[in-house]
A and B are shown apart, each in its own frame.
Chain A
């Protein structure tokens, strides 16, 4: 790999981890590439030019350029969403157990009424799934209110997580079918992992999309040069 590309790739990773938006990252990279190419044309090694600590250099550059950083906080997001989903699931289960006898008493369908099996399955699985999603979204919205753009993230989650759930269900069922609907621990763990990975992916995607629209180039041009200290 070209040494300049190597440097820029490492710097880009550092900028990304530091919460620098795509537009600013692209501007930094283009600017830096120009200098490094000019230096390389003069026989200077880009790696030696910037020193050993490329991530440190990248962060310093972002600070000095005054970019607005928005961190994804994906680990916190996933942890909170999972906790919210579990609590939502437990709460939903508790409410269902408490209200089920009441429902049966209130809605006593005559045996002549035929409920389509698809509708029954959709209600049977859909209601708990919806409760889990609501738990995750509400937890993210309330517990992570300190994160920027979390309202938009929660809104995107409410769209993407159910969609991901609907999409992954036939995939998981197909997988289960290939195993003969085995209940071996390995198979069940794999099925749970498929579902969780998909939902986690949808959650991360929701965060990324919510940040993307708000990560235009920072207005780093300042003209007030009267209140500064010597560099």
Chain B
């Protein structure tokens, strides 16, 4: 989901995605972890890749979110929000609980 969210902002190439995941706070992530996930998402039609000519080196494969990928990301975001609200509801003590204790 996070990979899709990062790709939703702008198309990037694989190891730039790794760098952004690290910058987002996921710690050190190997490209060897991200690359198979991108492959799976490409197989599922959530992302598409295209080669972009680079002025400084070889062509780069840039990944972008597809239409189905955007729909899936939206569904996962809603699912995640509901999940977080549910967990927060359990973890955060209500006023009623505070007065009883």
Contact with B along A159-170 (1 / 0, CB 8 A): 000000000000
Given contacts A220-B43, A222-B44, A225-B46, contact A34 B35 (CB under 8 A): no
Interface size on A, residues (CB 8 A): 33
Contact with B along A47-64 (1 / 0, CB 8 A): 001110110110011011
Measured in the bound complex, the distance between the Cα atoms of B79 and A19 in whole Å is 37
Interface size on B, residues (CB 8 A): 35
| Residues of A200-231 whose CB lies within 8 A of B | 220-226, 228, 230-231
Measured in the bound complex, the distance between the Cα atoms of B69 and A73 in whole Å is 39
A76 close to B (CB within 8 Å): no
A66 close to B (CB within 8 Å): yes
Is B31's CB under 8 angstroms from A221's CB? no
Which residues of chain A are near B79, meaning CB under 8 Å? Answer: 230
Measured in the bound complex, the distance between the Cα atoms of B17 and A78 in whole Å is 46
Given contacts A42-B57, A44-B15, contact A221 B39 (CB under 8 A): no
Given contacts A38-B54, A231-B1, contact A64 B36 (CB under 8 A): yes
Contact partner of B54 (CB less than 8 A), chosen from A41, A221, A222, is: A41
Within the complex, what minimum Cβ distance (angstroms) separates B68 from chain A? 4
Measured in the bound complex, the distance between the Cα atoms of B76 and A226 in whole Å is 11
CB closest residue in chain A, given B57: A41
Given contacts A35-B14, A231-B41, contact A49 B1 (CB under 8 A): no
Measured in the bound complex, the distance between the Cα atoms of B42 and A223 in whole Å is 9
Within the complex, what minimum Cβ distance (angstroms) separates A90 from chain B? 50
Measured in the bound complex, the distance between the Cα atoms of B41 and A53 in whole Å is 22
Measured in the bound complex, the distance between the Cα atoms of B35 and A65 in whole Å is 11
CB closest residue in chain B, given A39: B15
B51 close to A (CB within 8 Å): yes
Within the complex, what minimum Cβ distance (angstroms) separates A8 from chain B? 13
A186 close to B (CB within 8 Å): no
Given contacts A31-B61, A34-B61, A223-B68, contact A57 B45 (CB under 8 A): no
CB closest residue in chain A, given B44: A225
Which residues of chain A are near B46, meaning CB under 8 Å? Answer: 225, 228
Contact partner of A35 (CB less than 8 A), chosen from B35, B41, B44, B71, is: B35
Is B45's CB under 8 angstroms from A223's CB? yes
| Residues of B65-79 whose CB lies within 8 A of A | 68-69, 71-72, 76, 79
Give residues in A with beta carbon < 8 Å to B: 31-32, 34-35, 37-39, 41-42, 44, 49-51, 53-54, 56-57, 60-61, 63-66, 220-226, 228, 230-231
9 of the cross-chain contacts (CB-CB < 8 Å) are A38-B59, A57-B36, A60-B32, A61-B39, A64-B39, A223-B68, A225-B44, A228-B72, A231-B41
For the A-B complex with A41-B58, A222-B45 known, give 16 more contacts whose Cβ atoms are closer than 8 Å.
A32-B35, A34-B58, A34-B60, A37-B58, A38-B13, A42-B57, A49-B31, A51-B33, A53-B32, A57-B35, A57-B36, A65-B36, A220-B43, A223-B44, A223-B45, A225-B68
